[in-house]
Homo-oligomer: A and B are copies of this chain.
Amino acid sequence: MAIIALDMTSRVPIFEQINRRFIELILKGVLSENDQLPSVRSLALDLGVNPNTVSRSYAELEKSGMIYSISGRGSFVAKKDEKSIHEFLLSDFDFAITEAVHAGFDEQTLVEHLKNKIEEVSKND
């Protein structure tokens, strides 16, 4: 019952996928304030990845203020900050928008493209 599905073949680094997934779980309320995260070792075992990878993910989550760690006790979900969560989750989206605008696409085209793509993605679920 892994909460996290990794795509090992993706070009997105594994630690980044783990980051995203935890942040999504916090956003959706699956994980609430002060909930304990799995230990680095157990999650690494669970996901079949190197413990260092999970470590890096937790370190980044802590640096962004999403989780906090208590030495010898573990890692826990911090107070939810919707704004920074949104910012994080939409950072790729923001980057892509900037890129598209610079490429010369106008608002109408992009909105239309967005709607089509959302429909397409939703169907494939």
Contacts and interface: CB of A to CB of B under 8 A. Distances in A.
A94 interface: yes
A43 B112 CA distance: 36
Most chain-B Cβ atoms within 10 A of its Cβ — which of A93, A110, A111?
A93
Contacts of A105: 89-90
Nearest to A29: B104
A93 B101 contact: no
B101 A97 contact: no
Contact of A9 (B20, B70, B104, B113): B70
A71 to B, nearest CB: 7
Given A96-B92, A110-B114, A104 B71 contact: no
Contacts of A93: 96-97, 99-100, 110, 113-114, 117
Contacts of A99: 20, 89, 92-93
A90 B101 contact: no
A76 B100 CA distance: 24
Contacts of A58: none
A20 B111 contact: no
Contact of A95 (B9, B96, B122): B96
Nearest to A9: B68
